[in-house]
Amino acid sequence: MNIASKVRDIIISIVDLFYPWFSRFLSRETFLYLVCGGGNMVLDLVLYFISYNFILHKQIIDLGFVAISPHITAFIMSFSITFPLGFLLAKYITFSQSDLRGLIQLFRYGVTVVMCILMNYVFLKLFVEYFHWYPTVSKAVATIIIAIYSYLSQKHYTFRQVAK
């Protein structure tokens, strides 16, 4: 058994310890999605915070031909870790029954993530600038909507099971 299989088995056995408490409300797949996606989201926030405050020191990155603001650079840094990790968690833990080829899944996952980023931008603009909601409330509502979209698109598009 390789290390990836061992890590997968460890994660699933830990999640399975807690699933009985939620089994009346959520399917196992949905619970796995919430745990893996939620864990990846927390990791993304921690990496963003560390990158922005301690690696970049809130400073603009000047590449000579372009200057990148620290909040965008921190986003790129955290995204470069959580994008592949999120894909691996979804592919091998949450939606492991999908029989689509890995490259197709990766492409579809990328499309879904790009849509989530665009939706986040649109919802924040709409809620904050047009509805005049508080930014934190706006982000929370956007996150809930986007998480539902993400789950449904990953289940029915990215990692769907091909009917046989």
pLDDT tens sequence across 107-153: 999 999 999 999 988 998 899 889 998 888 888 888 899 999 999 99
Q: What angle do CA 61, 81, 43 make, to 5 degrees?
A: 100
C-beta atoms surrounding 113 within 10 Å: 19
Domain boundaries, the chain: 1-96, 97-164
Q: Please, are residues 120 and 146 in contact by the beta-carbon 8 Å criterion?
A: yes
Q: Within 13 Å and on the Cβ side, how many CA atoms surround 8?
A: 14
Both tokens assigned to 95 = 């939606």
Q: Per residue of the chain (164 residues), what is the pLDDT tens digit?
A: 688 889 999 999 999 999 999 999 999 999 999 999 999 999 998 998 899 889 999 898 999 999 988 888 888 898 999 999 999 999 999 999 999 999 999 999 999 999 999 998 899 889 988 999 888 888 888 889 999 999 999 999 999 987 65
Rg over alpha carbons for the chain, rounded to the nearest Å, is 18
